[in-house]
Amino acid sequence: PPNQHHPPPLKKNSFSNRQSKPSIMSAMIQFLTRAALIILSLVALLQTSAIRRRPPSLRQQQSSATTTNVSGSTMAVDCIKLTEKYFEVWNTHDVSWIQALHAATSTLTDWDGSHGPTNIEVASSIEGVWKAVPEVHIEIVNISTMEDKPNTCVANIKMIVDATTTMKVCDVIDYDESGRVVALNAHKTD
């Protein structure tokens, strides 16, 4: 009918623009949140990877501080830094990190028995300690090397079980040429 009032026609895309602005903002927030999570995951991955790979400064230090054994092969002798890193990782209670520090074939022997022959079993036995005693951590008293075994360290440590219980332990740790633990023999000293 000619006298009937009609609303003005909508401008092209005016309705969809009003609807899409919140959608775009929501999508951008989701995208940025996902990007932040990806970045955090990559940082965590790089930190894990950094433990698995020695930094260039440590590689240089090891290559300049080598000795030749009886068979004539060159061996790295900087197991003191490796041992410090080992206990630093041990105190994080992270199973994957501790497993990465052990060679694929490795053993751990302590006063409760022997664990191995793979890094999976070794890491699992250490995880059992962490689960049984969540507060447990280690403080290094001193670390020394063995002249006749340059890839072996002797670490005297304090295993702090809880606020009232501390054990003195002597760990003899053998490393392979890549810097991974192949054997750890722990002895109570008190």
Q: Alpha-carbon distance 124 to 99, whole Å?
A: 8
Most confident of 14-28, 53-67, 139-153: 139-153
**18 or 80, which is more confident:** 80
pLDDT at 71: 40
Burial of 66 (0-12, 13-18, 19+ CB in 10 A): middle
pLDDT at 176: 92
DSSP label at residue 136? -
pLDDT in tens, 86-120: 999 999 999 999 999 999 999 999 998 999 999 99
Q: Alpha-carbon distance 47 to 64, whole Å?
A: 25
Mean pLDDT across the chain, nearest whole number?
A: 77
CB neighbourhood size of 22 (10 A): 9
pLDDT in tens, 30-72: 666 665 556 655 555 555 444 444 443 333 333 333 433 334 4
Q: How confident is the model at residue 147 (pLDDT cuts 50, 70, 90)?
A: confident
β-strands 102-110, 181-188 pairing: parallel
Q: What is the largest CA-CA distance in the chain?
A: 110
Least confident of 12-26, 37-51, 175-189: 37-51
pLDDT at 120: 96
pLDDT at 78: 84
**Is the confidence at residue 139, as pLDDT, over 70?**
yes
**Is the confidence at residue 18, as pLDDT, over 70?**
no
Backbone torsions φ then ψ of 56, nearest 5 degrees: -55, -40
Cα distances from 49 to residues 52, 55, 97, 101, in angstroms, run: 5, 10, 9, 11
**Is the confidence at residue 123, as pLDDT, over 60?**
yes
pLDDT at 58: 37
